[in-house]
């Protein structure tokens, strides 16, 4: 069958790599792709926001399955468009994608369905938000309501920091219109983790857990990014915790969708804070996480294309997934200056990867004169595997040292939180 992957990041490279191994896939398209597309898939060169162009391409090429990576097209209604034309697409309709497209919608939904989350208040103007800040104690979690490429969250540790954050959102509009409505939440203390799950409209099938590292600097310091690395599975998510995630988070969410007439088919991303063994939802997303997908998908031994088709066709009931033993560690290499202003077009020196314990996913890259160059803030994902988490971390960082481009930067402590959790549990 012909399969189309939409997106240009490391998440999409991981998806494309997994799909390319499927016996069901005869021809793979990936657009707009990156330098990792070469030799893996055909690139029709269509932008992720060209919904009509993507639809026409899928119809013309008789694409039998389209897999959407980023949130933008899903929030924009690409699944609705394809479904209306009788085309199979993996990703929720726009009504379901609102769990990521609007933080206010997501928090109201959690409140209504009893899904554990932090207390919150919503604001549409800076004056009301500033008055509310005065009435509660720090730290404050301030979120832009709309999409902000994973960067729309500011954690303010003092009232002055909170006022500056509000000013940057409402007056300077650092997140555009996404930040003209906001949510202020109570700060949760605990262990962060992510659970990705597949939903076929009725049934929920969780994948193994993972743990993202969002702040740009070691020790979780500095501003939030789209993600500086991830590990899988996350030691903080025990079997008991996963059962609680299913019972208290994922099943109630799907029940709420069904009650509201939303036929949700795709990925549910549950960003969690584990507090004394109990999961609280920090955020919901409507797609595979990035960089979580790069850590999770390579551990999946089941046929990804087959599982996606079962999701789209409503056939996940009683499905069991097979996973590779051990752990993965994904270290993200970023351009100097990220998540702020950064340069592009820097030549990347990267050796061929010829061993089973390492895989490299391209993210912000493109080919120029047959050479990969930087083309984004997050450039490469270096994923190491090991029977132990220590082994996975060591392999990833060993390979990182063999790669370079001008002003390359990365965190040196990806996985250390997970190792500390493992140590405590033993």
Residues 40-55: pLDDT tens digits?
999 999 999 999 999 9
Q: What is the pLDDT of residues 82-117, one digit of tens each?
A: 999 999 999 999 999 999 999 999 999 999 999 999
State mean pLDDT over 358-375: 96
- pLDDT score recorded for residue 150: 67
Question: Rounded mean pLDDT of the chain?
Answer: 95
For helices 416-425 and 389-400, give the axis angle rounded to 10 degrees.
160
User: Any idea where the domains of the chain sit in the sequence?
Assistant: 2-93, 125-180
- pLDDT score recorded for residue 172: 84
220-238: b (≥16 Cβ within 10 Å) or e? beeebbbbbbbbbbbbbbb
**Structure letter (DSSP) for residue 409:** B
**Phi and psi (nearest 5°) for 213?**
-130, 95
CATH 3.40.630.10 fits 2-93, yes or no: no
- pLDDT score recorded for residue 417: 96
HEC secondary structure over 185-235: EECCCCEEEEEEEEEECCCEEEEEEEEECCEEEHHHEEEECCCCEEEECCC
State mean pLDDT over 388-403: 97
Sheet strands (E) in 8-132: 27-32, 65-68, 89-90, 120-123
Instruction: Kindly tell me if the per-residue pLDDT of 426 is higher than 80.
Output: no
CATH for 125-180 (3.40.50.1820, 3.30.1490.20, 3.30.565.10, 3.30.9.10): 3.30.1490.20
C-alpha pair distances (Å), 117 with each of 99, 100, 107, 183, 209: 14, 15, 8, 13, 19
pTM for this model (two decimals): 0.95
Shared fold status for 2-93 and 125-180: no
Q: Among 261, 266, 256, which Cα is nearest to 92's?
A: 266
């Amino acid at each position: 069958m012909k399969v189309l992957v939409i997106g240009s990041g490391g998440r999409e490279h991981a998806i494309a790599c997994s799909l390319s191994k499927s016996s069901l896939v005869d021809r793979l398209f990936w657009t707009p792709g990156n330098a990792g597309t070469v030799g893996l898939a055909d690139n029709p060169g269509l932008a992720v926001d060209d919904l009509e162009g993507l639809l026409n391409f899928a119809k013309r090429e008789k694409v039998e399955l389209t897999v959407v990576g980023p949130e933008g097209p899903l929030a924009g209604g690409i699944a609705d468009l394809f479904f209306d034309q009788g085309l199979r697409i993996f990703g929720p309709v726009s009504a379901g994608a609102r769990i990521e497209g609007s933080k206010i919608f997501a928090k109201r939904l959690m409140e209504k369905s009893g899904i554990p989350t932090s207390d919150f208040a919503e604001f549409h103007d800076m004056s009301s938000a500033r008055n509310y800040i005065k009435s509660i104690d720090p730290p404050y979690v301030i979120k832009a309501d709309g999409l902000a490429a994973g960067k729309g969250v500011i954690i303010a540790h003092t009232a002055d920091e909170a006022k500056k954050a509000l000013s940057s959102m409402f007056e300077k509009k650092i997140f555009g219109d996404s930040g003209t409505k906001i949510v202020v939440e109570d700060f949760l203390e605990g262990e962060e983790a992510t659970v990705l799950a597949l939903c076929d409209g009725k049934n929920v099938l969780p994948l193994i857990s993972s743990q993202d590292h969002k702040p740009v600097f070691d020790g979780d310091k500095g501003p939030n990014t789209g993600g500086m690395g991830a590990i899988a599975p996350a030691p903080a998510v025990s079997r008991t915790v996963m059962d609680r995630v299913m019972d208290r988070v994922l099943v109630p969410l799907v029940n709420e969708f069904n009650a509201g007439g939303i036929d949700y088919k795709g990925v549910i991303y549950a960003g969690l804070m584990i507090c004394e063994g109990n999961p609280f939802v920090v955020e919901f997303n409507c797609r595979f996480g990035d960089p979580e997908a790069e850590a999770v998908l390579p551990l999946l031994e089941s046929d990804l294309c087959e599982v996606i088709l079962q999701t789209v066709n409503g056939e996940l009931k009683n499905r069991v997934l097979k996973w590779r033993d051990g752990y993965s560690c994904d270290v993200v290499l970023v351009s100097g200056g990220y998540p702020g202003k950064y340069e592009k077009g820097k030549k990347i020196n990267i050796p061929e990867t010829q061993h089973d314990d390492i895989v490299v996913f391209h993210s912000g890259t493109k080919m120029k004169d047959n050479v990969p160059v930087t083309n984004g803030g997050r450039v490469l994902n270096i994923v190491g595997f090991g029977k132990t988490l220590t082994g996975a971390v060591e392999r990833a960082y060993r390979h990182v040292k063999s790669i370079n481009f001008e002003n390359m930067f990365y965190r040196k402590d990806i996985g250390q939180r997970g190792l500390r959790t493992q140590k405590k549990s033993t």
